[in-house]
Every structure is written in C-alpha cells, then in structure tokens.
Amino acid sequence: MSDNSSGSTVQKNESFLAKSVVGLMFVAVSIAALVLGVVAVVAINNNNGGSSSSSSSAAGSTTTVHVRMTEFAITMSPATIPPGDVDFDITNAGTLEHNFAIKALDKRTPFLKAGETAHLLVSGIEAGAVAIVCETAGHEASGMKATLTVAEGSSSSASDTTMPMAAVTWQQMDKAMEDVAMKFPAKTEGVGNQELEYTMSADGYKEFVLTAKIVKWEVEPGKFVDAWTYNGMVPGPVIHVNSGDKVRIIHKNELPESTSLHLHGVRVPNAMDGVDPYTQKPIEPGATFNYEFVADGPAVGMYHSHHNAQVQIPNGMAGALIIDDWKTLAMKAAGGRTGDTDGKAEQEVVMVLNDAGNIGLSLNGKSFPATTPYTLKVGETMVVHYYNEGFMTHPMHMHQPTGLVVARDGNVLESPYFADTISVAPGERWTVVYTAKDAGVWAWHCHILTHAETPQGMRYMVTAVIVS
Ligand SMILES: [Cu+2]
C-alpha cells in the first residue's frame, strides 16, 4: 500500500512537471511563430528570372520538388519523381549557410543564408539516383546529403502539394507538442559526464584511462546513433584534479582511424598539446599515448580530439577537465550577489553544447525530451560550466533564475555580471552562478528557436530547472 501511495506521488510530480512545461511551451511557440513570420518577410528569392515564380508546372512536364535544408539534413517532398524537368524549390530553414548541389550534373544554388529561398531548374533529369549535398565544408559529412529517386512511371501529380506540415491542423499540432512535452524527462540508455576515477601510480601520478571507441548512443528515445566516445559516453567522463597534481591520461585508441587528444584551456608542455603531426604522431588504431602534465589551475578545461576533429568531436569525442574546486571559486567570485542563503553551491553542472555530427543538436549528448532536468530549492545555488563543442554559437537562456557570469574560459572575471541569455561560441566555456528564487518549472534552452523546437514540439537543446 505504501508502494501505491508513493507511486501516485511520483505520478503527480511528473504530471505537474509536464503540465508546467506545456505551459511554458505555448509561450515559446508564440515566440517561434513571430520569428518565423519575420523570416518569411525577409526571405530572399534567388530566382534568376521571374519566369519560374509560379510553382505549378506550366507544360505538365516539370515536377516541383520542395526542399528543406537544416542542420544537418536535407529533406525533399516528393523524394521520388518521374524523369523530365525539375524545379527545386529550396528553403534554408536552418541557421547556417547552405547550398543545394547536384555535383554529378554540376548544378548548384548559391550559398543561402538562414531563411533564404531559391529555385534551381534542372531539365531532362534521367532515371536513376541523384545525389544531393550541401557544399558548406563539413556539412555533407554531418548528414546533409539526400538521394532523389528518378523512376519511370512514378507520378508527379502528388508533387505539387505543399509541405506535409500544411496538412496538420492546429489541434494536431497542439497534441503533438503536448505528447512530446509529457515525455520529459524521457529515459534513454547512457549517461555522459560521469566523474572519472583515477588510480595512483607508483611514480605519483593520478592516472586516468580514456578509451576512444564507437558505441551505440541513444540521443533521444529510440534514436540510436554511432557515437564516437571516450569510455562509451557522450560527453566523455569528467576529469577533476587539483593544482599541483601530477596527471597522466592513458589514451587508448579503439577507433577505426587515428586520433589525438587536445587539452583545451589547460596549461601543458608543448609535447602534450595533442596536435598531430606537430607535437606527436597520430595515435593509430590500436595504439596508446600517455598525456602527462602537472595541473596548473584553476581551469575549466576541455579535452577533445584534434585529429579529423570536425568529425570526431561532434560525433561525441569531447569532455570536461576541471582543475580545482569551482564551487568555492565561483561562490567567492559571486561575492554574495546572487542571494544564496548559505554561501555554498549545492551543485556543479557541466553543460556541453553540440549541434553537429551524429549527435546533433543536444545538451550533454541528449535531445529533448531525453535531456536531464535539474532541481534546486529556493536559496540553493548551482554553478554551471557551459562548454561549446559544436560549430555554432548558442545563446543559452534560463527563464529563471538569472545567472551571474563569473568566469570565461576558466578565468575569473574582475567584474561578474548578470545575464539571462549567455552566448557560448564554439570552443568557449562560461561559468555561471544560478541561485533559485521562485518555485516552478523553469525552461532552460538555446534561444536559436530551431535549436529548441519543431512543429511537432520542443526538441534538441531544451531542459528545465525545477525549483521547489
Ligand atoms: Cu543553439
């Protein structure tokens, strides 16, 4: 019986949480709608002439294919067409520059900025598979490739319909959004950022073993990708040491290609900088390399691959290397300005941002609703280290509490400042002190709205702080 009652309590909390999140979501949706409207107004049509402005096929032999480009996917509707003339109606619905290229036919659009549209007319496409890519460096490898199937006898009659989303009613949209919000926090396999244990070597080093290997990683419920990991988790395990410690990172490579390990924002001898071929040879598959240094803190460092890094890092090969006690350092820097009741930070949170590769848009290797919520009581404090291991700047916004920014890249600021939206550029680390003031479920997300939402509801870089 006590089991039952505790079960229903849990149920209640979950639905409270879900309900509050849904409430917040509607606010976010209105903002998204507003932004989308603006994007539509400023959209530039890159038509070369005015003749193709009508999307209906004039002679009946032109098929219109609607193309949507985002980070990092190309979707087409329809994806199967009959041979003949094709009018590609292309929208860059992402936040980076993309183009649409059919390399085999030497046909391509200019690079389109976020929100821009273009038409590409290709005449006489023959039966077969047509490979389409984005030619921005690294985007094809990150997933921006698609295949258009051209087949005799396939109908083009369905091709003049608008994007599938137009068929969705507002009631269906609300339902889809509620469904996904109710799943938060959804259970998935695997947790990143676990503290890495060390062993003390005979020669007085704290030894940490980091093994690079590919594992199946569940980014969101049911979506498994081949993640490139350290010790099988995304982000890699947290390495925490103190100034003066002799540190040895034993790095084993079980990948199908070479790698190397860069200790970013951490003072090391040049030979330990991990930049092959300058400071060492690449660590080949099956090989091991020991990185040794004396910890010189304080530091909010990160470790990540420095070999084929534009693939290895976004696919998961990055983690935090923290020197000294940042709960204490951050509270000292905050100087009592956040309203904390006991002068101590209750939590230290590593928040790794990513937007590319197999992992994609994510917080600590997970996409909403599989992201982790954080809990605080009023008066309690959380020290957050934002890490950006992706390709884009992410303005991280916590609805409440407002953060006091106390350090940049592990350097304590002389004048900490309050901010509710903190832009974290690739490679940066920002340390922020948050003290809870008002109870509730407070959304915490990237404010590039396509990094936080889809027409089917919240996704990607979204989580929440639950204050009681
Ligand atoms: Cu973002």
Which architecture, in CATH terms, is 199-467?
A: Sandwich (2.60)
Give 448 Cα–ligand 1 centroid separation in angstroms. Answer: 5
Q: Of the given ranges (44-58, 123-137, 213-227, 245-259), which has the lowest mean pLDDT?
A: 44-58
Give 456 Cα–ligand 1 centroid separation in angstroms. Answer: 18
Give 371 Cα–ligand 1 centroid separation in angstroms. Answer: 15
Q: Is residue 389 pLDDT above 90, yes or no?
A: yes
CA 328 distance to own-chain centroid: 29
Instruction: Check the CA dihedral 397-401-406-407 and report its sign.
Output: negative
As a whole number, the mean pLDDT across the chain is 86
Q: What per-residue confidence (pLDDT) applies to 41?
A: 32
Higher pLDDT, 61 or 77: 77
Give 363 Cα–ligand 1 centroid separation in angstroms. Answer: 10
| Residues in CB range of 330: below 8 A, 6 or more apart | 345, 383, 406, 407, 431, 433
Give 458 Cα–ligand 1 centroid separation in angstroms. Answer: 13
Higher pLDDT, 329 or 150: 329
Q: Is 395 exposed, middle or buried (0-12, 13-18, 19+ CB in 10 A)?
A: middle
What's the rounded Cα separation, in Å, for the pair 429 and 85?
50
Give 392 Cα–ligand 1 centroid separation in angstroms. Answer: 7
Give 284 Cα–ligand 1 centroid separation in angstroms. Answer: 34
Q: Of the given ranges (52-56, 95-99, 267-271), which has the lowest mean pLDDT?
A: 52-56
Residues 394/388, Cβ–Cβ less than 8 Å: yes
Give 394 Cα–ligand 1 centroid separation in angstroms. Answer: 4
| 253: β partners | 212
DSSP 315: T
Assessment of whether the complete model's pTM goes beyond 0.95:
no
Just give the CATH number of 61-167: 2.60.40.420
Give 351 Cα–ligand 1 centroid separation in angstroms. Answer: 13
Give 451 Cα–ligand 1 centroid separation in angstroms. Answer: 5
Domain boundaries, the chain: 61-167, 199-467
Q: What is the mean pLDDT of residues 144-171?
A: 68
Question: Do the domains 199-467 and 61-167 match in fold?
Answer: yes
Q: Is residue 356 pLDDT above 50, yes or no?
A: yes
pLDDT bin (cut points 50, 70, 90) of residue 165 is low
Neighbours of 347 (CB within 10 A): 14
Give 445 Cα–ligand 1 centroid separation in angstroms. Answer: 8
- The strand ranges marked E within 43-143 are 62-70, 73-77, 80-81, 84-92, 101-102, 107-108, 117-125, 128-133
- CA angle centred on 331, ends 328 and 335, rounded to 5°: 135
Q: What per-residue confidence (pLDDT) applies to 157?
A: 44
- CA angle centred on 234, ends 229 and 237, rounded to 5°: 85
Give 161 Cα–ligand 1 centroid separation in angstroms. Answer: 31
Cis-peptide, bond into residue 235, ω within 30° of zero? yes
